[in-house]
Chain A
Amino acid sequence: MARFWPPGEVGERMISFLVELTRMRRGAWEMVASIIIAIGVVMLMQPYILWAYTWSFLVTLIGTVMFIIVSHFPE
């Protein structure tokens, strides 16, 4: 059976990211907001799925507002 602990570099980064999220730190939350914005922009400009285009603005807006809010969180 594979050992999951100690988790290795990627796992450690993941854990520290989750800890930052729970402690409301700026870096981790900005990362989440950035990913949401990026998904929204891809949804807006992709040529395949119409419903993704329809909901793209809402996703981008949520990401952008979230980014503005979380950029005031402590470092």
Chain B
Amino acid sequence: MSKTKIVDAAAYATPLPLRHRIRGLSDRTIAWIFVAPTLILLLAINIFPLIWTIRLSFTNYRANRPNADVKFIGLRNYERILTDSDIWQTMQATAHFLCWTLFLQVVIGFALAWLINRKFKGNDLWTTIIVLPMMLSPAVVGNFWTFLYQPQIGLFNYLISFLTGVDPSSFTMIGEVRLAPWAIVIVDTWMWTPFVMLICLAGLRSIPDYIYEAAECDRASKWRQFWTITVPMVLPFLMLAVLFRGIENFKMFDLVTLLTGGGPGSTTELTSINLKREAFEKWRTGYASAYAVILFVTIFGLASIYVKALNRVKDR
């Protein structure tokens, strides 16, 4: 049976009133029918929990005491969070982690992309090798870097010892207050630099050769070509990579939990780890909701500025 006949048969098999009703639907209604499942999911998974979190942030609700009275306490949760020096410290730890990882990933990622973009033998093989860390699970990365950082058997300490001559057992990357913040920066940079590199590589490969040829004709030096052609044309890609990595690192949880668990003390306790402790260890749900709202507004504000800057660079 041909395709048309099957469709006709199906149409005639449909009860008459329903057939008429479907034929009577406007394009707008059909469009709504198609969009509705996505809208419903979005409302159920994103919008409703957001509104509910905002509501809970004004209460003393505790999820482990569902039968207790829930009191409206106004802005007290916000007041407590914004005057708590421990939370202030986690904000600083997050800022340190965010700034250094973004800086290192952008610099190293761009440099790697620039090198890989040059035609040489084994180019594809090197690209694959460099991209490997990004494909691993954060749980795996966290675990094996814990071994690498071991002072007795860890390769990292031996490498530092080989390069600097210090005793490998004289320092512990994840056990010392001054080194632990750098330990998580190194691991995140190692894991996510390939991501930035790939995006930069896409940007570099999108630059047409004739622009460089025209610059050569105008006797522009390599340095000038780099700053007036390469950097401006890769900038939108680079900014996109920074946006993705910035948002991801702001809510970094798994890698740091497995590596240091927020320690020693609370040196590497990032906001997401602290938030999880407040919500699911201390069970202060209302307080944790206020904390989440503060982080949400911060990320939303930053992302708004960033998207605006990105559009401006793209328009240029």
Contacts and interface: CB of A to CB of B under 8 A. Distances in A.
Contacts of B302: 37, 41
A60 B297 contact: yes
B37 interface: no
Interface stretch (A5-13, A17-25, A45-53): A45-53
B233 interface: no
B301 A67 contact: yes
Q: How large is the interface on A (under 10, 10 to 19, 20 to 34, 35 or more residues)?
A: 20 to 34
B25 to A, nearest CB: 33
Contacts of A57: 78, 82, 294, 297-298
A53 B298 contact: no
Nearest to B294: A57
A32 to B, nearest CB: 12
A53 B297 contact: no
B301 A37 contact: yes
Interface residues of B, number: 18
B150 to A, nearest CB: 31
28 contacts: A34-B304, A34-B305, A34-B308, A37-B304, A37-B305, A40-B298, A40-B301, A41-B301, A41-B302, A44-B91, A45-B92, A45-B94, A45-B95, A47-B92, A53-B82, A53-B88, A54-B82, A54-B83, A57-B78, A57-B82, A57-B298, A60-B297, A60-B301, A61-B297, A64-B297, A64-B301, A67-B301, A67-B304
A49 B246 CA distance: 24
Interface majority SS on A: helix, strand, loop or mixed?
helix
9 cross-chain pairs, A with B, having the tightest CB-CB distances, nearest first = A45-B95, A37-B301, A64-B301, A34-B305, A54-B82, A47-B92, A67-B304, A53-B88, A60-B301
A60 B298 contact: yes
A71 B303 CA distance: 14
Interface string B73-86: 00000100011010
B144 interface: no
A34 B297 CA distance: 13
B297 A56 contact: no
B147 interface: no
A44 B297 CA distance: 12
B82 A63 contact: no
B300 interface: yes
Nearest to B94: A45
Contact of B85 (A30, A50, A63, A64): A50
A54 B75 CA distance: 13
Interface core residue of B85, B95, B297, B302 (most chain A CB under 10 Å): B297
B234 to A, nearest CB: 23
A55 B294 CA distance: 12
A60 B82 CA distance: 13
